Amino acid sequence: MEYADIVVAVVGVFAVAWIADLLTGRRGLFAASLVAGTGAACGWFLAVRVFDAATMDDFVWTAWAVGGSVLALIAFYLFRNTR
């Protein structure tokens, strides 16, 4: 499959967002998915463009994308405004 790494990254990022939403009391899956997707894009950019640690031909960048989404979700739930 030509785009298997992209499918794995998208499913992994959505799973991380869903787990984060479950752990925080179901506050909103859309917000968690948006933050996780943004973090995944940042993780991909760091892996492929900035640090040159991976290419789009291997699965290493998917770990960077999932790691970026985890870090973004941690920052989101740590610093969000709770009323």
The residue-averaged pLDDT of 1-13 equals: 89
Closest alpha carbon to 63 in 1, 29, 13, 18: 13
pLDDT in tens, 15-70: 999 999 999 887 789 999 999 999 999 999 999 989 888 888 888 999 999 999 99
The whole-model pTM stands at: 0.88
